């Protein structure tokens, strides 16, 4: 029920042998996009958003090479993305030092989970009251979630469905919006479009 019987999924080695070139193109595209996002400087620390780009692509690539059906892969990716992004923004899980330093890590995790829940409640109350939410962590969480799913969708569509146009469209739109709003050079956008055209050409071929 959760996996497909598609005979094309014969193993990782065969899959990598068929997909290595487009993987290089996709990774190059991600590097350009992450550099552009970091240079834009929307928040003081854009590292969580940058890692969401790579994390979503890695999840999409693994799911594309797996035997999971589309709806099962989407559900798994959604749950994984929320967990990873919340951890990146709030770091509610104990560190290795806290895990090995004694039996207090359970209490530490409970306190951090309480703080996390209270923060979400505060965001909701502020939103309902019509005030501006000045906490940048909400912005990082929401943008990170969008970037994760855009890159995961690109990996899934290109590698699993061989649909470069629909796969690159959301991520390309986000990158173009970032370049335009940040006032970055258009040559970066041109190079990005060339990469997308190469990916589309590969999938069509």
The values of phi and psi at residue 91, to 5°, are 50, 60
pLDDT per residue over 104-159, tens digit each?
Answer: 766 777 777 777 777 778 777 887 787 776 777 778 888 999 999 999 999 999 98
Q: pLDDT category, 65, cuts 50, 70, 90?
A: confident
For helices 164-182 and 136-159, give the axis angle rounded to 10 degrees.
150
Q: What is the DSSP letter of 104?
A: T
Show the tokens assigned to 19.
């997909």
pLDDT in tens, 149-194: 999 999 999 988 889 899 999 999 999 999 988 888 888 889 999 9
Tell me the β-bridge partners of 3.
68
pLDDT band at residue 102 under the 50/70/90 scheme: low
Q: Which of 201, 158, 184, 141 is nearest to 32 (CA)?
A: 184
- pLDDT above 70: residue 196: yes
Cα–Cα distance measured from residue 43 to residue 78, given in angstroms and rounded to the nearest whole number: 24
Q: Is the pLDDT of residue 5 over 50?
A: no
N-to-C CA span, the chain: 32
pTM for the whole structure: 0.81
Q: Rounded to whole angstroms, how far apart are CA atoms 55 and 145? A: 11
Query: At residue 202, does pLDDT exceed 80?
Result: yes
- pLDDT single digits (tens) 24-64: 999 999 999 999 999 988 888 888 899 999 999 999 999 98
Q: What is the per-residue pLDDT for 158?
A: 92
Say what the pLDDT of residue 7 is: 40
For residues 56-73, give the mean pLDDT.
89
pLDDT of 2 above 50? no
**How high is the pLDDT of residue 166?**
92
Which residues pair with residue 68 across a beta bridge?
Answer: 3
**Tokens representing residue 198 in the block:** 């190469």
> Is the model more confident about 120 or about 81?
81
Mean pLDDT value of segment 76-104:
78
């Amino acid at each position: 029920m959760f996996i497909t019987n598609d005979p094309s999924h014969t193993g990782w080695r065969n899959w990598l042998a068929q997909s290595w070139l487009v993987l290089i193109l996709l990774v190059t595209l991600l590097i350009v996009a992450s550099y552009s996002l970091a240079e834009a400087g929307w928040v003081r620390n854009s590292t969580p958003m940058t890692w969401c780009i790579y994390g979503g692509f890695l999840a999409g690539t693994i799911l594309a090479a797996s035997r999971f059906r589309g709806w099962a892969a989407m559900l798994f990716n959604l749950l994984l993305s929320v967990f990873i992004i919340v951890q990146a923004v709030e770091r509610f899980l104990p560190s290795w030092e806290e895990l090995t330093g004694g039996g207090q890590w359970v209490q530490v995790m409970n306190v951090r989970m309480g703080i996390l829940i209270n923060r979400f409640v505060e965001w909701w109350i502020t939103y309902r009251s019509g005030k501006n939410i000045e906490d940048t962590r909400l912005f990082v969480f929401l943008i990170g979630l969008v970037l994760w799913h855009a890159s995961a969708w690109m990996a899934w569509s290109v590698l699993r469905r061989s649909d470069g146009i629909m796969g690159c469209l959301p991520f390309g739109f986000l990158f173009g919006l970032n370049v335009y709003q940040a006032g970055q050079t258009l040559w970066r956008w041109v190079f990005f479009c060339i990469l997308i055209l190469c990916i589309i050409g590969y999938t069509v071929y």
